[in-house]
Amino acid sequence: MPIARESKRKSNGELSWKSKIIRQFVNGWIESDNIDGTESPSKAEANPVAKPNAPKKNTQYNYPNFVKSSEEKTPAPATVTDPGLDKRTIRRIENVIAYFYGEDKISLKLSFEQAGLLLETSYDETGQVFRYTVNEHEICRAVGPQQEAHTKARDELVRILQFYCYTVKRLKEFHTRRNVFRKMTEGGSKQNFKDNRIDEGNIGFRMLQKQGWSGGSLGSSEEGILEPIGVQKKNNKSGLGTESSEPQKIPLEAFMLAIKQYAAGNALYDLVFSPQFSVHHVQKLRDLASSLKLFPQMIGKKKQLVISKNLTLREIKEGVLKGHSDLCAKYAVIPPISQRFK
């Protein structure tokens, strides 16, 4: 009997309950959002009135998203000193983008790797000299015991990068417009009428006031209800008055399809998955994200899965400078000190 019912449903073109849930979940899931702020093809077709050659507005950037160097440079404060590198060394590192992933935490390895440079360290125990070299060329050094010299040389290298190179600073671990939950409750939520009550300008309100109504409950002892009976949408075959059932699990295929759409789209916010997912399902989603060249990671005390676009530091920098809202919410771009001061 179930087989006959299923074949009848297929012949009538109806969807199974699983397909309906997947379609409901995925429909309208991903918003196209280009890094350069231009409209996606679907949006452009839906808006034929838009002028194709309309001039772009100049975007104003404000700290912390962007510190704009003024055209008239001002003298540097006393605390800012020029590291005094020669022009050849400056040209060697000028394409480096320093990446800070915390208040004062910097990833030197990532910064130099994405610039195509090899950063190496060495320590001469005889002279107690710690060196940082870039492509086998020394960039800075410090003298002293190894740990102390390492700290001094690292601080000097950070100062050099901040003076001559752009800095990308991560303001928060993730920025999302999509919180993904494993389960969804059936039916709609009850309507809330507190914010939609009629005011004193309503004719019915004034008529009741003339008859002595003060705005409270009706009845001789004011025992009437203040709000209408809430209506709850019903999508199942259970009887009236039954308690709401357990939250319905969304098939894992729906989340996998959403991740594929996210990878194919231009959205740059992060997908944040709730802790409702099992370890097995999280691993499946992580494997899928990695195969699509996305960047999955576990974040927070609850170890939530967060999937992000795998952007380079240069793409992040360009996106912030162009005023991309999702990137500006997560990162700040700071120009070199040498460009802000003489």
pLDDT at 15 (0 to 100): 59
CA distance 223 to 272: 47
CATH domain 252-337 topology: Ribosomal Protein S8; Chain: A, domain 1 (3.30.1370)
Torsions phi, psi of 146, nearest 5?
-55, -50
Distance CA 236, CA 228 (A): 24
Question: Where does residue 111 rank: exposed (0-12), middle (13-18), buried (19+ CB within 10 A)?
Answer: buried
pLDDT in tens, 211-257: 777 666 666 666 666 666 655 666 666 666 565 555 667 888 888 99
pLDDT above 70 for 19: no
State the average pLDDT over residues 310-328: 92
pLDDT at 131: 95
Task: Give how far the C-alpha of residue 341 lies from the chain's centroid of Cα atoms, to the nearest Å.
Answer: 33
Where are the domains positioned within the chain?
Answer: 87-165, 252-337
CATH number assigned to the domain with residue range 87-165, chosen from the 4 options 3.30.300, 1.10.287, 3.30.160, 3.30.70: 3.30.160
Q: Do the two domains 87-165 and 252-337 of this chain adopt the same fold?
A: no
- For residue range 134-157, what is the model confidence (pLDDT) as tens digits? 999 999 999 999 999 999 999 999
> Do the beta carbons of residue 272 and residue 179 sit within 8 Å?
yes
Q: Are 175 and 330 spatial neighbours (Cβ–Cβ below 8 Å)? A: yes
Which segments within 181-326 are labelled E, that is strand? 183-184, 248-249, 270-273, 294-299, 304-309
What is the rounded CA–CA span in Å between residue 91 and residue 164? 9
